[in-house]
Amino acid sequence: MNNLINFIIESGISLSLLALIYVLFLRKETFFRLNRLFLLFSILFSVILPFLHFRVYAPQSNMLAEVTVTPYRNVLEAVTIYGQDLSGAMVNSISSSKIIILIYLLGLIFFLGRMIFRIIQILMIISKNEMQHIDNYRFVLVDEEISPFSFLGYIFINPGMKKQPGYEKMVTHEMEHIKQGHTFDVLILEILTVFQWFNPFMWLLKRAIRENHEYLADHAVLSSGISSAQYKHLLLSQAVGMQLEIANNFNSSLVKKRIQMISKIRSSKLANLKYILGFVSLLALVIIFACEQKEALQVTKVEDSNERKVTVRLLDDGMKLEGSQEDLELLHAMLNGKSKYEFDTDSTGSVFLVKSKEQEPRQLEEEDQVFFIVENMPEFPGGDLALRKYIANSIKYPEISIENGIQGKVYVSFVVTAEGTIANAKIARGVDPSIDKEALRVVNTLPKWKPGYQRGEPVNVSYTVPINFVLQ
């Protein structure tokens, strides 16, 4: 469902932007063929855009590099936290609302049924009326008073209109719709409308393409020899009869605009520069949606042929875990991303999984010695990769920072105590109070480490972890 919502949102935004550009800058230009190509490419691009993903930056997916040690502090490799992208935020919001999904599905069913009904309506007209084959065209002779229209290779017309002046030009107009394949444009739009029925720009785009079809057909008829004055008179003289929206109608509500376009002076070649705006918009859409980094952290999964087994026994105050030391450490690392739980041991060495308790950040006494380099450095359960996973899974990009476009790298210094707990956590270099607070919160929740040792004794060791907050 999320993939469908993402497709609808991204394609809808693309359609809206490109339709707006067409209406504001290109609609009144007389480059009818170029306008049609722009409109059709806009549709194709908008359909493909949600499936495009270009990774411009990818975090390292292998094991972390060795911890960098300096005479002043031990600096861990930076953990990058990505703010949720525009489409991702909208997808999560919509997918969580059953009412929105229900309304959308009802609209989808309605417009799908309407499209099917209109196609059946045309098929019934074809089956119930006489048909004549002239060249490669099939003329459906309808007894009802209708305005001429075409659909695929069929031209629907009242035979009584043959005696009216301009009949040949009306037929030529509909033939042009068939020659240029306008029905296929209409069908694609109808299918897209089923999914984008709620998008007002979708309806604007439909009307724009229909206008373009009429301009193209009118231009072809005028090129055949009829004067513009005669053709204008022909457009005005046609009585409004039955019309089908899914077909190409000779007489439509666009008559006024068609007459205005016939009288319009040809656009200058400089007007072609306006299409550059469309190209820039396409590039911007690709950068916004296709070049987004979807994952906050990617980790290479290493399969182990050895069977892992940990027995869980439920107790009143937690869960007792039984298994090999290696398996328990692996489980510990996997659950480090779940800040609601922590591991504990009793005097017998039994391992328990219990709910985390909110504790005040620990501060060492001033006389407590803190080392920067020791013989055996502290180890996070599961290693550096597990530490990065823990931070990436536990941290949340502050909403206020996302709204204000704030990003940057926060340096959090802390001490791994002789007991393996975290103490003296503070911001060594900050970016913004909201981001600094979140980074500090997560570091204070780090589970116990294996402490560092100097000359066989556990000691306090200082570390600094950079946490890079990046908006996509």
DSSP 160: G
Tell me if 376 sits within 8 A of 418, measured CB to CB.
Answer: no
Q: What is the pLDDT confidence band of residue 119, given thresholds at 50, 70 and 90?
A: very high
Tell me if 123 sits within 8 A of 129, measured CB to CB.
Answer: no
Tell me if 460 sits within 8 A of 369, measured CB to CB.
Answer: yes
Q: What is the DSSP string of 20-60?
A: HHIIIIITTSS-HHHHHHHHHHHHHHHHHGGG----S----
- Please tell me the distance from the alpha carbon of residue 234 to that of residue 226, in angstroms, as a whole number: 11
What pLDDT is stored for residue 220 in this prediction? 82
| Res 24 pLDDT > 80 | yes
Q: What is the mean pLDDT of the chain?
A: 76
- Please tell me the distance from the alpha carbon of residue 53 to that of residue 146, in angstroms, as a whole number: 49
- Please tell me the distance from the alpha carbon of residue 432 to that of residue 430, in angstroms, as a whole number: 6
- Please tell me the distance from the alpha carbon of residue 89 to that of residue 297, in angstroms, as a whole number: 18
Of 310, 322, 336, give the one whose Cα is nearest residue 392. 336
Q: What is the pLDDT confidence band of residue 315, given thresholds at 50, 70 and 90?
A: low
**375 contacts: CB under 8 Å, gap ≥ 6:** 453, 454, 455
What pLDDT is stored for residue 383 in this prediction? 84
Comparison of pLDDT for 145 and 94, the residue scoring more: 145
Length of the chain as a residue count: 472
State the pTM of this model.
0.53
Do the bridges between strand 457-470 and strand 370-371 make them parallel or antiparallel, or are there none, so unpaired?
parallel
pLDDT 10s digits, 200-252: 988 988 888 888 888 888 888 887 777 777 777 777 665 444 455 666 655 44
Tell me if 128 sits within 8 A of 222, measured CB to CB.
Answer: no
User: What strands, in cross-sheet order, belong to the sheet with 311-315?
Assistant: 311-315, 318-322, 351-355, 341-345
Comparison of pLDDT for 179 and 298, the residue scoring more: 179
What φ, ψ does residue 104 adopt, rounded to 5°? -65, -45
Lowest mean pLDDT among 98-112, 275-289, 327-341, 367-381: 327-341
| Res 347 pLDDT > 90 | no
| Res 63 pLDDT > 90 | no
| Res 306 pLDDT > 60 | no
What pLDDT is stored for residue 417 in this prediction? 93
| Res 435 pLDDT > 60 | yes
Enumerate domains of the chain plus CATH numbers.
Answer: 2-53+97-290 (no CATH), 62-84+361-472 (3.30.1150), 301-358 (no CATH)
Q: What is the pLDDT confidence band of residue 305, given thresholds at 50, 70 and 90?
A: very low
Comparison of pLDDT for 54 and 323, the residue scoring more: 323
Lowest mean pLDDT among 50-64, 114-128, 151-165: 50-64
Residue 221 is encoded by which pair of tokens? 């008829």
- CA separation (Å) from 54 to 46, 49, 91, 290? 16, 11, 20, 6
Tell me if 45 sits within 8 A of 229, measured CB to CB.
Answer: no
